[in-house]
Amino acid sequence: LFRVRSTIENIHVLKLLILPYSCYCSSLESHAKGLPNQLPQIEPLNRLRAVFQQTYTYLGEFLRLQRRRPSCIVPRPLSCSHWATGMSPHAQFETAFAQFQKELLKNKTGIFPTFLERTAVGSIVELRFGVLFEKQIVFTQKMLMVENAGVIEQMLFVAPHEEWSFYTDLGEKRVDLTKSSQYVVYQKLTTQANLHLMQTINTQEFRWTALTLHQLSSAFGKFQYVFEATCRNCKKVMKDFLPPLIFDFRNLKNALHETCR
């Protein structure tokens, strides 16, 4: 009888101990029934996290600086200007360019400038450099400058014998700036010229005069001498069929090939 009573008491104590765990298990089971039958896979979550991280990195690295070159896709709106018609930076550029043309014809310096396109707020100017040989002009360099509101925004180089590409826009002939030279060397010269334009020369602070245009044209006219410059590293002019294209036009003695830097 004593053993039976002891066993009954043990069972009662065991029930008291198990009861809280049973309630917890019932509550856990009810919560589990409310969850979806299948958990999301980890791979889509990792991909989504990588996309957000790459977007953050792109915005942080590439959109910190203001874009200075014009977009070929988005049309540029006309900016509000408080300048009078004859006193705007664009008008000053056109006036200085006309005086620049007169002085070049008078002094015969070997620079032949001309307007390819003119609008109310900008223009595209062609510059050809040449020498006189047996009563004929031999052109050694051909380039154009894109001017907008008195600021030079883009440069484009082609071979002296190449022609510019044009397209028709609402019945008017426009220069196609998306067409680059067919030669790799002039494509790379275009890249170097635009790098110098963004990093070395700040035309936003220019006060346009004939002298300023002459200095700017002479600076970019030195690009034709890159075909005579020797590499500072390998001491050669040509390497991989290209001249030393990494240079400072203020001192061509420091020129380097792309594979020698």
How far apart are alpha carbons 190 and 223 in whole angstroms? Answer: 10
- How much is the pLDDT for 4? 46
Instruction: Name residue, tokens 């957000």.
Output: 52
* C-alpha angle 176-111-132 in degrees, rounded to nearest 5: 120
Cβ contact 229:244 at 8 Å = yes
Convert the pLDDT of each residue in 159-197 to its tens digit.
999 999 988 877 788 888 888 899 999 999 999 888 888
Convert the pLDDT of each residue in 90-149 to its tens digit.
888 999 999 998 888 887 788 899 999 888 888 999 999 988 777 788 888 999 999 988
Give CA 89 to chain center in angstroms: 24
How far apart are alpha carbons 209 and 203 in whole angstroms? Answer: 12
pLDDT confidence tier of residue 77, bands split at 50, 70 and 90: low
